[in-house]
Structure 1
Amino acid sequence: MMKNQFKISSYCHVKQNKISLNGTIFFSAEAEESKFLKKAYKDLDINYSKFFKMDKLSQLAFLAADVLLQHENISEENQENIALVMGNKASSLDTDRKHQDSIQDKASYYPSPAVFVYTLPNIMLGEISIKYKLYSENSFFVFENFKTNYFYNYTQSLIDDKKADKILCGWVNVDDEDYEAFLYLVTPNGNLQHTEQQINTLYNELWKL
């Protein structure tokens, strides 16, 4: 049985204080990582009041997703059947460290709920879903590195089983000051083939930023 032939319509990278959209630098600024994310949020006029309450992992994913979905004219007002499939290698480690530090602080033992709520990586999927009213399938995986074949096969299974009209896929990782995001949108229409080779090619553009 022949698989449904979906395409990649757009892709986005965030790394080294730069955001690129479809291979072209979309935004850049001289700032340390956490300040860069907030500056990008302000300068790109992204409207979501909870952004400053998020941990860095959620801010990074939210920023990349918003740039990509806005480019695709995905409206916040209309419910879309877009699945989310993402992963990383550090889970929520960056926030977990802060949570652990607060537990070990004998002078102020009780950890802040504002930190604790972000000690699960799938919370970042929830933030994207809330803004864009996404109620479809969403999955998060932790691997040592970006496993193209797994993401391709999982995404293809969602398409073949007709569980989503579009799939936002990618890799979003934060570990201290090291951060990277690569997201791509798989749709019925697009200019790029949805193949493992094509996904690898697009992912490797991340290292050219």
Structure 2
Amino acid sequence: MRIEDLPEQWPVVESREHFKGYVIGVRTDTVRMPRDEVADRDYVVHPGSVAVLALDEDDRVLLIRQYRHPTRHLLWELPAGIRDVEGEPLAATAARELAEEAGYQAGTWHTLVDLYLSPGMSDERIRVFLARDLSKVEIDFDRRHEEFDMPVEWVPLGDAVERALMGMIHNSPTVAGILAAYAASVEGFALLRPADAPEA
């Protein structure tokens, strides 16, 4: 059997929206299961997001620290953001987030890894990009709320892997991006897809 995720859609008998907020919604779908049974599945509806693993010429990863209220933690993360501009290519969204959150632009972009954040409870998908050939850029961006004070740190890739494995970094796209970048570096990043690779 080929090990590859495949699109599949079981029949939805009924769909009910319980909540619609600024970013997320909550929905219950009644799904027709095998043997003609039906069952309710509650999930969060999300527009999706992008994250950027920026790697400098010294193989250091750019991390920012941000307060995340649901977890009650200050988390070290990759620059990231919601897919909130209709029709904007994902790589352009990633470039905008890298500039706004960290003040950098990149000359080389690749798709690093695609993730479903929590597929049992949300439809959110995240594309993590690898950004290299970095240069500083000035962006006039009004930082407010959680983004008001986000320190930027450069961490050697090997040290970032160690921190992820030791339970010192918890943000899921950050952990996945760090481990994927470390694995991809073995082949000199030659196996990575282009930045505009289609999503499954």
TM-score range normalised by the length of the shorter chain? under 0.3
TM-score by length of 2: 0.26
- Which is strand-richer, 1 or 2? 2
Query: Computing the radius of gyration over CA atoms, which structure comes out larger, 1 or 2?
Result: 2
The structure showing larger relative contact order (alpha-carbon pairs under 8 Å, at least 6 residues apart) is 1
TM-score by length of 1: 0.26
